[in-house]
């Protein structure tokens, strides 16, 4: 159960960081505070934002597998 709680915290941190980077990229593209440079920075931030989101997805998958394996003995 402790490992599941640790993974839950890791999942939340990864999701938060990925979504914040994605929000920053959208804000740069919409408001363009630096002109054309904003477009370039926004385009670079999109793939960077996908890395923690993908890691969060994999962590969630591991959490499900762990929860199901722990639940087998209790059913």
- pLDDT (tens digit, 9 = 90+) per residue, 39-61? 999 999 999 999 999 999 999 99
Question: Using 50, 70 and 90 to split pLDDT, how confident is the model at 2?
Answer: confident
Residue 75: the pLDDT is 47
- pLDDT (tens digit, 9 = 90+) per residue, 7-31? 999 999 999 999 999 999 999 999 9
Any idea where the domains of the chain sit in the sequence? 2-71
- How far CA 38 is from CA of 23, 42, 60, 67, in Å, comes to 13, 6, 33, 43
What DSSP assignment string belongs to 19-52?
HHHHHHHHHHHHH-TTTHHHHHHHHHHHHHHHHH
């Amino acid at each position: 159960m402790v490992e599941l709680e640790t993974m839950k915290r890791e999942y939340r941190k990864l999701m938060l960081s990925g979504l914040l980077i994605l929000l920053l990229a959208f804000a740069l593209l919409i408001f363009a505070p630096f002109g054309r440079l904003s477009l370039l920075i926004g385009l670079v931030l999109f793939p960077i934002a996908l890395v923690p989101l993908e890691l969060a997805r994999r962590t969630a998958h591991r959490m499900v597998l762990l929860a199901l394996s722990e639940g087998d003995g209790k059913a």
